[in-house]
Structure 1
Amino acid sequence: MKKLFFAIFPLALSISCNIDRTSKDNSENSPNSIDNIDFISQRHLQNQKFDTLNFKTEEQWDSLNTITHKKVLHKKGKVHPDIRTFGWHIYSNGSTYKNYNFSMLWGLSYFSYAVQPETGSYKSIHQWKTTSLIDSAKTKGCKVFFSVSNFGSKNNTTFLRNQKAQNTLIDSLSSLLALRSADGINIDFEGVPKKDKKYFTKFIIEISKSLKQENPNYMVSLCLYAIDWNDIFDIKAVDPYIDFYTLMGYDYYGSFSKKTGPVTPFKNSKKFGNGLETSVNYYKNKGVHFDKLIVGLPYYGVEWYTKKPETGTVVTKFKSHPRYQSIRRLYIDSLKIPIQFDPKSASSYIIIKDDTNQYRQLFFEDVKSLSIKYDWIKSNKIGGVGIWALGYDDGYSEFWDLLTEKFSQE
């Protein structure tokens, strides 16, 4: 059986793909392709939200996010030896890992080493040096990776044109990987300008060669944008140096959207534009082999204010990117709002009407939508599935149980 790669993500680089550039439906909702205007992904927004908090412990993050460590029972199972499941743990999710079903994870990535663009050192590595997450993962045979992130066109230009800063980053990463006996890195550079493509390609090759020279067992993975509008990725050049790719198969609609739509539409449609299937085929045509591709899916939703209840209607204001935990607790369990389903995009959504005759629309993934996309990934022998992010479903078991149902050896 061909070895598969499955990732529970993290969100990795921002949306950017050379797919159907003339599509009116998609261009209205996709990130701007102009170099000096940065697309802001859900990952980037979250980083901005928490960047000013100088928390030193996971307990502080737990308090901020009201994490209670309510025990959740998981279906018994162990990830199939020919399947790789990979997940991102975000620093702001504190100690939610105490409820992770590590038996269903091949690997996870700690998010993140936030690059200081001028020097290559880190703005923060959060609790990388101290977190018990790494020990808990290794006890269950789960590999551990370290995400490396840099957001924004200006930051990327500054860093990618500074060889000294890149050398500092490589040396720093080498020490930090060795400190926790980690298995490699996941590169998440978002908003790389088109003018810096050759510098980005050179950096990817150099960091891979340097780390593998330090430890031949290190694995280097690269986050791909769902839509590569600026044609940033030179797959032919970097492929020999990349062990696997993580496609950020989300943020097709988000804070930037003029109309409402799914976070991850499945198939291309006139109503919602390009979807996951189109993104995967794009990278296949660029030279990404399916057995090296992990398709990331979201454990969060996107919510807007609108004047009309119909999906695809004009947005009056972006509200938030709620995690699945909040969607379940606030809307489904408490308010009992019925879940609706759009077959074409294979996405779930709910419509909320408030007292002023305004509406809120919330698109998200649930067991029904994820099952369809998991089955498609399996039937096409794509390397795997990734979900951003671990802990977004804290307190609920259905997503872990779905992983067991689809990917367990038992």
Structure 2
Amino acid sequence: MIKKFLLLTIISLNLFAQNSNKLNKTIFGYLPWWEYTQGSANYIQYNLITHLAVFSFEADSLGNLKDPLNWPWNDVLTNAEKNNVKLILSITNFSPEQIHKLFTNNNSKTNLFKNIESRFKNYNFAGINIDFENLNDEDKNINLINFLSDLKKYLNQIKPNLELSFAAPAIKIGNWNFETMVQICDYLFIMCYDYYGSWNDFTAPSSPLTGTFFNITKSFEVDYSNIVKAQPEKLILGVPYYGNYWKTKEKNPYTKVDTSKANKEWMGYLTYKQIVKYYFNYEKLWDTISQTPWIRWFDTKWNQIWYDDEKSLGLKYDFAIQKKLKGIGIWALGYDGDRSELWNLIEKKFSNPLMVENDHLSFSFTLHQNYPNPFNAETIIRYSLKQNLNVKLELINLLGEKIVLFDEFKYQGEYSFILNADKFGLSSGVYFLKISTGQKTQTIKMILLR
């Protein structure tokens, strides 16, 4: 009787552990073989992910597949099954010539599909993620579309409901047809990182949310705008658990660097766990342009590390929620090591359906009446936010002419700033100050008397 009671208790606890965090969005994480071999899989909180992509099964031009080191990863297979995490077969190739042959040579494509089928038969994969990068422009449209279409049909023959996804670039350069791709695939994993890196002649974040020439907001509102309007639930916002490291002559953000081979100041990528362990004792700063943190210190040169932490990732997650995307993705599982703060952030943002539902279906802000009003030259503007929001503040005259004071993400809290009429060349008259977040607005009337 005691043994039976203990057995039932253990079963109940296991079920509770599996179901205690009901994730309301897809949390997709890549686990690279080099992190697995270092033991990083031991720190994965399986109850806080929905998909784990085994990275990677490398395809060659003939359609052969090379398994990741030490495959099969039996502990990962077991833990994924226990926690109802979908295992994803990650297929990679970064050679444009080899990818072209896989797309256009029927023998290579047939061999690849057969090799994919054998992995599905031997292991409990729930889907496949294609990570083909550096494509020739001629392969970004028709050839890719045909390949994905043929693969989807093949998967349907292997087993119903197998997921097909594609690791897509954040910026539409060339002949990409994202709209057709998303109709074939179950979803696209948008790699919202490497916007800036070793190829740039200035320091910058890998994953800027706002500002700079390229950023996440622009990717979704320009490059993927049609899909965001029609099927946002088929897009995953991928985020980096790593940062960019440069040595520079100047200490300022976005400073120029020497990209010549003889004096290259690019030092490489650093994982989040490396940054926290070795560099957190240096000066930490926040870049309001990109909404990302960075670190600097001086030895023989200035050092700059641009990375993401729970603050910047939290803003990206809010963005994904507000855009009603399918979810978020992580490159890469293990890059945070045994630290818990990034897991805690996922739990906070995505494990409470009511909280998150309220986050993206409603909002709360208040624009207070300016003081003094009427005013001469200067007046104080105050507004408050009850959650993190993208806030746009505009000044409008009676002719309908607008001045955008700012348009950026803001944290929950109270804000105030001084509006100087001389700075904006304002003349006497009536003005309307409008605050907007998404579809909602609030307006107050102000009077400037000279």
Same fold flag (TM > 0.5): yes
The residue number in structure 2 matching 1:315 is: 257
Unaligned runs of 5+ in 1: 1-74
Q: 1:262: how far off?
A: 0.8
- The superposition leaves residues 369-392 of structure 1 with CA deviations (integer Å, 9 ceiling, x where unpaired) of 111111121122122111100000
Q: 1:137: how far off?
A: 1.1
Residue pair 2:24, 2:351 contacting (<8 A) in 1 also: no
Distance, in Å, in 2 between the alignment partners of 1:286 and 1:375 is 20
The partner residue of 1:287 within 202, 222, 227 is: 227
Q: 1:76: how far off?
A: 11
The residue number in structure 2 matching 1:89 is: 31
Q: 1:283: how far off?
A: 4.2
The residue number in structure 1 matching 2:214 is: 274
Secondary structure, counterpart of 1:222 in structure 2: strand
- The superposition leaves residues 94-127 of structure 1 with CA deviations (integer Å, 9 ceiling, x where unpaired) of 231111111111111001111111x100244333
The answer to whether residue 247 in structure 2 is matched with residue 298 in structure 1 is: no
Secondary structure, counterpart of 1:165 in structure 2: helix
Distance, in Å, in 2 between the alignment partners of 1:381 and 1:115 is 34
Higher RCO by CA contacts (8 Å cutoff, separation 6 or greater): 1
The partner residue of 2:283 within 323, 338, 346 is: 338
More strand by share: 2
Distance, in Å, in 1 between the alignment partners of 2:287 and 2:32 is 30
Q: 1:79: how far off?
A: 4.0
Distance, in Å, in 1 between the alignment partners of 2:139 and 2:321 is 35
Distance of aligned partners of 1:366 and 1:391 in 2 relative to their CA distance in 1, 3 Å threshold: same
The residue number in structure 2 matching 1:193 is: 136
Residue pair 1:79, 1:85 contacting (<8 A) in 2 also: no
The partner residue of 2:87 within 119, 144, 148 is: 144
Structure number, greater radius of gyration: 2
**Residues paired across the two proteins, number:** 326
Q: 1:81: how far off?
A: 4.6
Secondary structure, counterpart of 2:270 in structure 1: coil
The answer to whether residue 57 in structure 2 is matched with residue 109 in structure 1 is: no
Distance, in Å, in 1 between the alignment partners of 2:331 and 2:316 is 15
Residue pair 2:56, 2:91 contacting (<8 A) in 1 also: yes
Residue pair 2:178, 2:224 contacting (<8 A) in 1 also: no
Distance, in Å, in 2 between the alignment partners of 1:395 and 1:81 is 22
In the alignment, residue 260 of structure 1 is paired with which amino acid? T
Residue pair 1:346, 1:369 contacting (<8 A) in 2 also: yes
The correspondence of residues 8-407 of structure 1 with structure 2, limited to 5 A, is: 78-94=20-36, 95-117=39-61, 119-197=62-140, 198-232=142-176, 234-267=177-210, 269=211, 272-287=212-227, 289-316=231-258, 317-332=265-280, 336-354=281-299, 356=300, 358-407=301-350
Distance, in Å, in 1 between the alignment partners of 2:77 and 2:276 is 28
Distance of aligned partners of 1:76 and 1:218 in 2 relative to their CA distance in 1, 3 Å threshold: closer
Distance, in Å, in 1 between the alignment partners of 2:183 and 2:232 is 15
The residue number in structure 2 matching 1:71 is: none
RMSD: 1.9
Q: 1:158: how far off?
A: 3.0
Residue pair 2:171, 2:223 contacting (<8 A) in 1 also: no
In the alignment, residue 96 of structure 2 is paired with which amino acid? S
- The superposition leaves residues 152-188 of structure 1 with CA deviations (integer Å, 9 ceiling, x where unpaired) of 3222223222111111111111110221111010110
TM-score normalised over the length of structure 2: 0.69
Distance, in Å, in 1 between the alignment partners of 2:164 and 2:69 is 21
Distance of aligned partners of 1:343 and 1:76 in 2 relative to their CA distance in 1, 3 Å threshold: farther
Residue pair 2:152, 2:184 contacting (<8 A) in 1 also: yes
Distance, in Å, in 2 between the alignment partners of 1:191 and 1:79 is 38
- The superposition leaves residues 22-45 of structure 1 with CA deviations (integer Å, 9 ceiling, x where unpaired) of xxxxxxxxxxxxxxxxxxxxxxxx
Residue pair 1:298, 1:388 contacting (<8 A) in 2 also: yes
Secondary structure, counterpart of 1:208 in structure 2: helix
Secondary structure, counterpart of 1:372 in structure 2: helix
- The superposition leaves residues 227-268 of structure 1 with CA deviations (integer Å, 9 ceiling, x where unpaired) of 121232x2343333211110000000112111110111111x
Distance, in Å, in 2 between the alignment partners of 1:214 and 1:403 is 34
Distance, in Å, in 1 between the alignment partners of 2:155 and 2:235 is 21
Return 367-376 or 389-398, whichever deviates more: 367-376
Q: 1:301: how far off?
A: 0.3
Return 189-198 or 279-288, whichever deviates more: 279-288
Distance, in Å, in 1 between the alignment partners of 2:67 and 2:19 is 36
- The superposition leaves residues 266-324 of structure 1 with CA deviations (integer Å, 9 ceiling, x where unpaired) of 11x3xx21200111123433435211110000000010111111111112321010000
Distance, in Å, in 1 between the alignment partners of 2:19 and 2:199 is 40
Residue pair 2:196, 2:204 contacting (<8 A) in 1 also: yes
Secondary structure, counterpart of 1:132 in structure 2: helix
Distance, in Å, in 2 between the alignment partners of 1:375 and 1:394 is 24
In the alignment, residue 287 of structure 2 is paired with which amino acid? D
Secondary structure, counterpart of 1:266 in structure 2: coil
TM-score normalised over the length of structure 1: 0.76
Distance of aligned partners of 1:149 and 1:339 in 2 relative to their CA distance in 1, 3 Å threshold: same
Unaligned runs of 5+ in 2: 1-16, 259-264, 354-450
